[in-house]
Structure 1
Amino acid sequence: MTLHFAQYRDLLLRYLRPQWPKFVLMTITLLGSIALELYNPQILKTFIDTVKAQGNLNTLVGSAILFLIVALGAQIVSSAATYMSSDVGWTATNSMREEVALHCIELDMAFHKAHMPGELLERIDGDVGTLSSFFSTFIIQIVGHGLLMLGILLIVAFINIWIGLALILYSVGAFLALRRLQSLGVPIFVQQRQLAADLVGFYEEHMNGILDVITSGGSAYVIRRYIDLQRRVNSNSYRSGFVEQGMRIAVTMFLVLGNIIVVVGGTYLLLDRQITLGAIIMLSNYVMIFTNQLVNLSFTFNTWQLAAASMKRIAELYYTPSRVQDGPGIGLSAGEAASITFDHVSFGYDEGQTILHDVTFELAAGEILGIIGRSGSGKTSLTRLLFRFYDPTSGTIKLNGEDIRQANIAELRHNIGIVTQEVQLFNASLRDNLTFFDDRIPDEQLLTFIEELGLGDWYRDQPAGLDTELTAGGGGLSAGEAQLLALIRVFLKNPCLVILDEASSRLDMATERLCMNATTRLLAKRTGLIIAHRLATVEQVDKILVLEAGHIVEYGPRVALAKDPMSRYSKLLRTMNSEETFA
């Protein structure tokens, strides 16, 4: 993705602009700190010239006290400026982290299929964290040092124009050298951030599947992949180290040149009686400060490079468009059953691949459709299209006669409830797991829904009621109990459409009956889609849809199909036990 400078600028200003009052105060304290640091060598000059002229003792004591007060004041004001700079930087980048994370969550599933979770975590947290560190010191270590160096150049030029011009030329040369090294380093540091993301993604991918790797004998392959990735990381580290070291060498050369200019020029002017000894020492002090600022800039070079690389990667992520675009809305009403229409829908996850072929069917509001077929027939893909995780390659999907491409995505997903085999649980209380941490939902409402779903006895078995602590991943809960939680979550949404995606395929028969009783109450007066592995799961549906390799091979009322000896559904009923699963 090619981005322009204006896009980087607009992205930064979006988060820095709300901080402008703090920014103004920070600027004032920074300028005050610079002024005090520039003033102190002037006091030193007065002190030395007074000593050389055998001046008044009170003047010397006053100069010494003033020097100490100004030095202490400069440190206090500088610390205040540093604190405000950090506050502005972290506040702005925390907002950036939040919005970039939300943008990633809202991107289509094709994007998430192409990027591992570990990589995205590194880009959102790692890159924004690098930018936070940079912003927290940028004003002080780069802008502040730059302004201080400019002030020194102006003062030296005022003392002697030739020494001033020499230092200006020296500064221009140093600046151009730094800019050149930065331009050489940015691509290397961009690659460094990407390799870091790849490494985190590698760890995440293989740690999650460690048992499969070990049992399938894939350890050697994983190690080879790791060694190859680590070799690339090491190679990049060497290159970035060379660039950074080259910058340090260049700075050292310029520092030596700057000291030569001051020593030679100052000595000549002193012998020619154009300046005093105090002025020479003052110049030497300014050059020392100037030198320190260049050294500080050299030490921040690596952070500068990383920040530039991180900003590029964050901007690329932030400006990545979703293939699934939000619509104006189609006016879905919570809890009111919606009709579903698939009109010649075809779909594939990758270009040239077709998973669903010309799928066409209609389901009236309040009807329940049972979808059956072997694994890989396209059942789950069909439900993903309803959620608009993807858009069809061709054809139209409608709810209540409205194309769902025109739906507001948040509104659409709020009005569709889904229960799958895998239920995401958090390390939190039962209450928070049911409400997704929404404290606006009262306990009384939760308990009412639990009773309405017929789960009161199950709830009363929980040791601490709604305060029962659950662990992430559902530790301590059976698969059936996790499904019950998912059903309550859906009931709280009050959707117009409910999807059960093979939700009971891993349950024992007793738990499945409990879940089915709750499901019956959940589906009352709602449109439902039930994707099943077992024929028993679709015994009460209104219609049956049989998928085979992405094609509808049969669709119609369940009762009629069951009575038709030539129908596929009827043949399945005769040849399969109701509890037997499809292959």
Structure 2
Amino acid sequence: MAGRRTKGSDKYVSPHLKRFKYTQDQAIDKPFNWSQMRRLLEYVKPYSKNLLPLGILAMLVSTLVRLLVPVLIGKVVIDVAIKEQDTNLLIQLVVGIGIMYLLSYVANALRIRWVNILGQNVIYDLRKHLFSHVQRLSHRFFDSRSAGSILVRIMNDINSLQELFTNGIINLLMDIVTLFGIFIILFVLSPKLALAIMVILPIMFFISTKMRKRIRRSWQDVRIQQSRLNSHLNESIQGIRITQSFSQEQENTEYFDGVNTDNFESWRNATKKSAMFRPFVEMSNAIGTVILISFGAYLIIQGPENGGITIGTFVSFAFFLGMFWEPISRLGQMYNQLLMAMAASERIFEFLDEEPNVEEKSDAVSLENMKGHITFDHVQFAYDEDRIALHDINLEMKQGETVALVGHTGSGKSTIANLISRFYDPTKGSVKIDGHDLQDVQIHSVRQQISVVLQDTFIFSGTIMENIRFGRPDATDEEVVEAAKVVGADDFIQRLGNGYETEVEERGNVLSAGERQLLSFARALLANPRILILDEATASIDTETEKKIQQALQKLLKGRTAIIIAHRLSTIREADTIFVLEHGKILEQGSHQELMALQGEYFDLVKTQFQMLDAM
């Protein structure tokens, strides 16, 4: 069957299914180290003066009660009160132990409350930090990663840390304190019996050390498979119309089945390896119990006067033995949780360690009151070593000019626009605005004065008003409406059910392509940019709407430097300068009349386009 996943392989037979690539989302094979954990714990620091100390205090109170009660029962209740038949002392001890348990209950309730508040705050801060950092990264970062892969790190990977911060850290401290307390008490009560019981610990430590690398690696694989599953889901939902248009639902379902199976297998493998730890702890508990009964009985028979123990001491040991293996079992679970957290944190920190390719200098200047004079000085740019997009480009776009970039697909038109917005830096040469090299200028000050209108405009979930105001958040309602009127969007907006308060879904699917484009023009106009870039902005608009846009453009472009990228050559006839590009090189430049008179590449493009129109 086409599209079926081959056994033992992540590759699929159907060629179109090879569109999913995850070259950047691989396992991070770093050794487990506490420096990584210390970095994660940095997010707890803001709460180290209030919530954390309160949680630790409550934990210490409840742990102290748990350690004292077995000693009281064995050494006082049994060896003193019951042995001497002291009823008053027995009643006092019962009441006292009851009060201690009540105190422990209150302390535990407060600990859970404070620690949960701490954990939720830490998760909030970490997710906010990661999202803010990702938003600052350059386009190259997003070029090599799917949206689903990024989504997994911000949502799933951080969610996997929630249990660690809400319960794990305090529980870890509580179990460590409990174990140390039990160690000390047991050796005080009877060093011989304590040593006999502890003989199993070195074996336990050795086996757990062997297991930890395999467990950690399996949880890393879970994260990778989840990332792939989310990437496929994201792309499938975004491209559902294309899938249905080509009747590829079955192929897509089979691919999803393969990715879903890999995700299932990774979880099963990780949980199977993690589950091996608990039975091993229980087996150790069983061995310890056998040692306690056999050797403990022998010591009771010997009696305290001959180096043995009392029955009360034996009972205390029995209490502590159950308490001893319980925190060790939890530490095993905690270790698995820690491995999951480390696998997630490594992936989170990989993103946080990612630096923008487009870096801002520490002494970068703010470009205020931009005029819009643009020059390219011997600019070369390559997306990668094997793909040079621009070759030694020299061009000038004067203040207030309308410049058009034409050429076949892949000729470098959009690359020039991206360099002007400084989404990328040139490999060689320099891009200057008003004489300032963009690499010497604060990025925000440049982009704040540039608006870009793309062919596939993005509409956010929200109202029409909010989408237009995205260009300038502090704009008034009147200014939003005026911008919509200027570009001819007001007519269709008023026809909507709630006008400017009409809710639109993600990507504006309730609107036509032309309506979405009109909104993007209104958004750009409202931002009042000094430089306007129109990248195939009229490609999705019908002829009647295009006439409205052409009228709006006269107002929109007035006093601004405008760069128009268009395949419809009819839209750029009035441009002051037209640059004709081919394979990243400028072949011709001049006005429409000059280039037509030249009868070169531009002339051929116009001639070909009109021949195609005549044929239609």
Partner of 2:511: 477
Counterpart-to-counterpart distance in 2, 1:71 and 1:173: 35
Q: Is the 8 A contact 1:8 1:315 kept in 2?
A: no
The equivalent residue for 2:63 is 34
- Listed as ranges, the gaps of 5+ residues in structure 2 are 1-27
Corresponding residue to 2:414 among 380, 393, 402? 380
Is 1:59 aligned with 2:89? yes
Number of residue pairs matched by the alignment:
581
Partner residue, 1:267: 297
Does structure 1 residue 16 correspond to structure 2 residue 44?
yes
1:17 maps to amino acid = K
Structure 1 residue 311: Cα displacement: 1.5
2:283 alignment partner, one of 253, 256, 261: 253
Q: CA offset at residue 195 of structure 1?
A: 1.7
Contact 2:488 2:549 survives alignment (8 Å):
no
Cα deviations across residues 318-355 of structure 1 (Å, max 9, x unaligned)? 11223222234343235x43111112222232321122
CA deviations 1:195-229 (Å, max 9, x no partner) are 22112212222343344445557667656654554
CA contact (8 A) 1:536 1:579 kept: no
One-letter code aligned to 1:26:
G
Whole-angstrom distance in 1 between the partners of 2:443 and 2:394: 23
1:539 to 573, 594, 615: 573
SS of equivalent residue, structure 1 residue 354: strand
2:226 corresponds to which of 193, 196, 210: 196
Normalised TM-score (structure 2): 0.86
For 2:578 and 2:528, the matched residues in 1 are separated by 25
Contact preservation (8 Å) 1:244, 1:301: no
Amino acid at match of 1:532: A
Give SS of 1:25's match.
helix
Instruction: Tell me if 1:362 matches 2:362.
Output: no
The CA deviation at 1:126 is: 0.9
Provide Cα deviations, 1:58-93, integer angstroms capped at 9, x if missing partner.
Answer: 322222222222223223312322232222222112
Choose from 447, 451, 455 the match for 1:417: 451
Separation of aligned partners in 1, 2:542 and 2:315: 88
Matches within 5 A, 1:221-240: 222=252, 225-226=255-256, 228-230=258-260, 232-240=262-270
Displacement of 1:543 in angstroms is: 0.9
Q: Which amino acid aligns with 2:329?
A: V
Amino acid aligned to 1:12:
L
Q: Distance in 2 between matches of 1:224 and 1:384?
A: 38
**1:84-105, CA deviations, whole angstroms, 9 ceiling, x for partnerless residues?**
2222222112211122122223
Q: 1:110 aligns with which of 140, 145, 170?
A: 140
Q: Residue type matched to 1:287 in 2?
A: L
> Matched residues in 1 for 2:573 and 2:412: separation?
21
Question: Against the structure 1 CA distance between its residues 330 and 361, is the aligned structure 2 distance closer, same or farther, given a 3 Å change threshold?
Answer: farther
1:443-454 to 2 correspondences below 5 Å: 443-451=477-485, 453=487
Whether 2:363 is the aligned partner of 1:333: answer: no
Distance (whole Å) between structure 2 residues aligned to residue 491 and residue 248 of structure 1: 64
Residue type of the alignment partner of 2:134: C
Aligned pair in 2 of structure 1 residues 180, 31: CA closer, same or farther (>3 Å)? farther
Residues 1:146 and 2:176 aligned together: yes
What one-letter code is carried by the residue in structure 2 that aligns with 1:16?
V
Q: Deviations over 1:213-251 (max 9, x none)?
A: 455576676566545545544554454244223322321
1:529 pairs with one of 563, 568, 580: 563
Determine the C-alpha separation between the residues in 1 that align with 2:365 and 2:593: 33
Letter in 2 for 1:297: L
Q: Distance in 1 between matches of 2:247 and 2:483?
A: 48
2:325 is matched with 291
Q: Aligned letter for 2:476?
A: P
Structure 1's 286 and 580: CA in aligned 2 closer, same or farther, altered over 3 A?
Answer: farther
Query: Runs in 1 of length 4+ with deviation above 6 angstroms?
Result: 1-4
Counterpart of 1:331, as a letter, is S
Structure 2 CA distance, aligned partners of 1:178 and 1:3? 19
Spell out, residue by residue over 1:29-73, the C-alpha distance to the aligned partner (whole angstroms, 9 max, x if none): 111121111122233232333453253333222222222222232
Whether the 8 Å contact between 2:534 and 2:564 is mirrored in structure 1 is yes
Of 474, 490, 499, the residue aligned with 2:533 is 499
Which of residues 599, 604, 613 is equivalent to 1:566? 599
Do 1:372 and 1:544's aligned partners in 2 also have CA atoms closer than 8 Å? Answer: yes
Q: Is the 8 A contact 2:219 2:339 kept in 1?
A: yes
What TM-score comes out, normalization by structure 1 length?
A: 0.91
From the superposition, tell whether residues 414 and 464 of structure 1 become closer, same or farther in structure 2 (CA, over 3 Å).
Answer: same
Work out the CA distance in 1 between the residues paired with 2:534 and 2:270. Answer: 52
Cα distance, 1:437–1:143 mapped onto 2, change above 3 Å: farther
61-70 or 21-30, larger mean C-alpha shift: 61-70
Whole-Å separation in 1 of the counterparts to 2:203 and 2:128:
41
Deviates more, 1:500-509 or 1:538-547: 538-547
> Aligned partners of 1:215 and 1:308: how far apart in 2?
43
Counterpart for residue 307 of structure 1: 341
Deviation per CA, 1:87-124, whole angstroms, max 9, x where unpaired? 22221122111221222232222222221111111122
| Equivalent in the alignment of 1:278 | 312
Q: Which one-letter code corresponds to 2:331 in the other structure?
A: L
CA distance in 1, matches of 2:73, 2:57: 25
Structure 2: which amino acid aligns with 1:29?
A: A
Query: Residues 352, 574 of structure 1: CA spacing in aligned structure 2 closer, same or farther, 3 A cutoff?
Result: closer
Change (3 A) 1:460 1:216: closer
SS at match of 1:185: helix
CA deviation map 1:12-42 (0-9, x unaligned): 2431211112111111111112111112223
| Amino acid across the alignment from 2:218 | I
Secondary structure of 1:473's counterpart equals: helix
Aligned partner of 2:5 in structure 1 is: none
State the percentage of identical aligned residues: 27
Question: In 2 relative to 1, CA 210–466 (structure 1 residues): closer, same or farther, beyond 3 Å?
Answer: closer
User: Contact 2:489–2:515 (CA<8 Å) still a contact in 1?
Assistant: no
Residue in 2 that maps onto 1:402: 436
Q: Is the CA contact (8 Å cut-off) linking 1:535 and 1:573 kept in structure 2?
A: yes
Query: In the alignment, what sits opposite 2:23?
Result: none
Give the match for residue 112 of structure 2: 82
Note closer, same or farther for the CA distance 1:280–1:3 as it changes in structure 2 (3 Å cut).
Answer: closer
Asked if the contact 2:82–2:90 (Cα under 8 Å) also holds between the matched residues in 1, the reply is no
Indicate the residue corresponding to 2:476 in structure 1.
442
Partner Cα distance (2:275, 2:543) in 1:
68
Shift of 1:468: 2.1
Deviation at 1:580, TM superposition (A): 5.2
